[in-house]
Amino acid sequence: MKVLVFGKSGQVALELQRQADVIALDRSQADLSDPEACAKVIEQTDADVIINAAAYTAVDDAETNEDMAKLINADAPAAMARAAAVRGLPFLHISTDYVFDGSGTQARKVKDPASPINAYGRTKLLGEHGIVAAGGRYVILRTSWVFSAHGANFVKTMLRLGKEREMLNIVNDQVGGPTAAADIAATLLIMAKALLFDSGKSGIYHYAGAPDVSWEGFAKEIFTQAGISVNVSGISSSAYPTPAARPLNSRLDCSCVKNIFDIPRPDWRISLTDVLRELGEAR
């Protein structure tokens, strides 16, 4: 299976390169702010499968740059999906829990109504619509709270702050499933291979780590595993305002990915141990 990956330096893109022999494209080779150029790459590729692991992920910045976020998160994936459909190539794309409004406490099912509360979520939802409308073989994988040993993410931020401060205030009313980039990459590769042989598995799926936890609880586990002594206090989201509103409920019902692909939810605590070990931070 020859895989073409849009994205080269992002968390999931890096893990895809570690786990499989893929062709990963950086911005100089495929700039998502030029959707038609990205489509052209697919028109000319000899790959069997296309994975889009690139996105505009600056959630707060998207509030004032929604047009650019839409170009990268919606227009580009739609153009890619159309080009893939013409070629008959499976197209896999990473989406987000931010397509939901974060209300309630129940895990969101794939078919639950989407109603994003920020610009990032709106652009990602538009991208989903464009991919479905393309009419080809596709997987849209909604995930949440991605972490790894690469790039900027919550785990690396907590490790830095935990060494700098004696006390930290961490949001405790947002709940979701932390998900290791390595687990997402492995799942995408399994799904890609399945989609090559069974177009009936096309669809939107949820995939997130278990158990669900608050950011405060996630931080405490990071500090425990890393052996960092720091006092952590929980605060509400209202006490830590950000330009973009965050969903309080990021729980995702992942039963479809288990039922269709036999992929269970990964235990993020085990994946966290692997990441800390790679960073040299495991106790």
* Set 56, 98, 120, 138: catalytic member: 120
Q: Between the CA of residue 104 and those of 173, 250, 251, what are the distances in Å?
A: 12, 10, 10
Burial 156-170 (b: 16+ CB within 10 A, else e): bebbeebeeeeebeb
Residue 113 CB-density burial (10 A; 0-12 exposed, 13-18 middle, 19+ buried):
exposed
Q: What is the largest CA-CA distance in the chain?
A: 57
Residue 31's contacts (CB-CB under 8 Å, 6 or more residues apart) are: 37, 38
- Cα dihedral 203→29→24→256 (10° resolution): -10
H helix intervals, the chain: 11-19, 35-44, 66-70, 76-87, 119-134, 154-164, 181-197, 215-226, 255-261, 268-279
Is 207 a catalytic site residue?
Answer: no
Residue 5 CB neighbours (<10 A):
27
Residue 158 identity (one-letter amino acid): M
Which residues are the active-site residues?
120
